[in-house]
Chain A
Amino acid sequence: MSEHIRIKLERSGGFAGISQRASVDTSKLPPDEAARIAELVRRVDFGALAATATGPPRAPDRFQYDLDIQQGGQRHRLTFGERAVTPELRPLLDHLLKNHG
């Protein structure tokens, strides 16, 4: 059994300047959804992301992401812009905003 994962995500900024939020606690999800999230999380190298997640992107009308993810004993709190979103990270963000907002 995999450790459960807690994620809080906010996407703010953009031309509209409207915040969208999502949060999950996989221990409270149906097993296949929890597994889905775990798989999406597994694909992301959060250590590498932390190196590029240098804070609010300061780029005109681009989205800002604030991500807080806890898994096992580890916690990452990261702020980054659209341009830091890798092909591996993108599906996780989109899935969270679409299904857990």
Chain B
Amino acid sequence: MIRHQYDPVRCILPPDVLERIAQHGDEEQRRRALHTLARDNSLRSIRAQNAILRAQGVKQITQETREPGTPDRTIYDCATSEDLASARVARAEGDGPTGDVTTDEAYDGLGATYKLFWDIYQRDSIDDEGLALKGYVHYGDNYDNAFWDGQEMVFGDGDGQLFNRFTIAVDIMGHELAHGVTEDEAQLVYFRQAGALNEHFSDVAGSLVKQYLLNQRADEADWLIGAGLIAGAEDQALRSMKAPGTAYDHPLLGKDRQPDHMDKYVKTMSDNGGVHINSGIPNHAFYLAASIIGGYAWEVAGRIWYETMRDPRLRPTAQFRTFARITLRAAQRLGYDSSSDEYKAVQEGWRGVGLEI
């Protein structure tokens, strides 16, 4: 018999457990797993369901075939409700602009994110199997936030006094979608350093989406996250990968607290152990590496970082130092050996934030 732990909040068996049940569970365990899975119709779940059904000798579920290389987007309008189930389809894949600014920004932003991952990294959507991209806009009443909830991306309109709408910058859509990629690949736990790495990859993805869209080289990019989001201070941003700690200075919001070096690491229990704060450190390392390498940041530095996220040695609880070491492994796997300029640039990037590897 297998002993396994259910996530009590979300009641979703983690993927590796599903696989083990499919292979080794007894009939009762397989039946129970199938029952849970049947409520989740993501592709991951369908793969797992098929594995269980195969073991039972039952006909498998088929998924409508589509060609990889194009996104499958649906934008839903929550009309200020927080109940996603009540949202209406505002724009489906292939539909033209609706005239609702945030709907069209979400549609375009998800498309731009899909395009970066497909064109450059040959990744077919969040799960690399063409997962449908669902964006929910006009979520909540004056909701000052955006998030990824494990299945879809959700965007508030902001309150108009502190924050504008959360689709105003394309990197925000990239950031949220990348949380899905991280969940699919590395499962970095959203707490303390591992969580800051999770946040970091989302900022890297967000920034690269913007740079790719604008065809900017590393030295042309502004390396800002959330530029234009602060109401009345649209020249400011939420985060700067180039200069953490300088993105905003606002009478109500305060000052950007991000560190740019390990010496300034912030120990806190707020913000899941400071995940949005300490992400500044790896963000700056990426900026430095990409800037030293030169050219388009998504080509070498971005590829090294993406391969790092896919390395099985990157554990969910990885610390900054381990992640940094794996970026060097990834560089070598991509053909940049330790005597190459690219490898040294990555080392230099980490050295610049106080991590000697």
Using CB atoms and an 8 Å cutoff, list the residues of chain A in contact with chain B: 10, 12-19, 56-64, 66, 79, 83
CB of A78, distance to nearest CB on chain B (Å):
13
By the criterion of a CB under 8 Å from any partner CB, how many residues of chain B are at the interface? Answer: 34
Q: Given contacts A15-B147, A16-B276, A18-B253, is CB(A58)–CB(B270) below 8 Å?
A: no
Query: What residues of A have a CB within 8 angstroms of the CB of B229 in the complex?
Result: 16
Query: What residues of B have a CB within 8 angstroms of the CB of A63 in the complex?
Result: 145
Closest to A56 in B: B272
Q: Given contacts A61-B145, A63-B145, is CB(A13)–CB(B163) below 8 Å?
A: no
Q: Given contacts A19-B271, A79-B269, is CB(A13)–CB(B191) below 8 Å?
A: no
Top 6 nearest A-B pairs by Cβ distance? Answer: A17-B276, A12-B270, A61-B147, A60-B179, A58-B190, A12-B271
Q: Which of B166, B179, B190, B198 has the most CB of A within 10 A?
A: B190
B198 touches A60 (CB 8 A): yes
Q: State the majority secondary structure of interface residues on B.
A: mixed
Closest to B225 in A: A15
Q: Given contacts A59-B149, A59-B190, A60-B198, is CB(A16)–CB(B226) below 8 Å?
A: yes
Instruction: Tell yes or no: B290 within 8 A of A by CB.
Output: no
Contacts of B116-165 to chain A: CB distance below 8 A = 144-149, 163
B191 touches A61 (CB 8 A): no
Q: Given contacts A56-B191, A60-B190, is CB(A14)–CB(B145) below 8 Å?
A: yes
Q: State the majority secondary structure of interface residues on A.
A: loop
Query: What residues of A have a CB within 8 angstroms of the CB of B175 in the complex?
Result: 15, 61
Contacts of B1-21 to chain A: CB distance below 8 A = 9
Instruction: Tell yes or no: B71 within 8 A of A by CB.
Output: no
**CB-defined interface of B243-266 with A at 8 Å, one 1/0 digit per residue?**
000000000011000000000000
Query: What residues of A have a CB within 8 angstroms of the CB of B148 in the complex?
Result: 60-61
Closest to B270 in A: A12
Q: Given contacts A58-B189, A61-B179, A79-B269, is CB(A17)–CB(B195) below 8 Å?
A: no
CB of B251, distance to nearest CB on chain A (Å):
13
Contacts of B166-202 to chain A: CB distance below 8 A = 166, 172, 175-176, 179, 189-191, 195, 198-199, 202
CB of B98, distance to nearest CB on chain A (Å):
24
Closest to A66 in B: B270
Q: Cα distance A56–B190 when bound, in Å?
A: 9
CB of B223, distance to nearest CB on chain A (Å):
17
A58 touches B272 (CB 8 A): yes
Q: Which of A13, A17, A63, A83 has the most CB of B within 10 A?
A: A17
Q: Pick from B144, B145, B179, B191: contact of A58, CB below 8 A.
A: B191
Query: What residues of B have a CB within 8 angstroms of the CB of A59 in the complex?
Result: 147, 149, 190
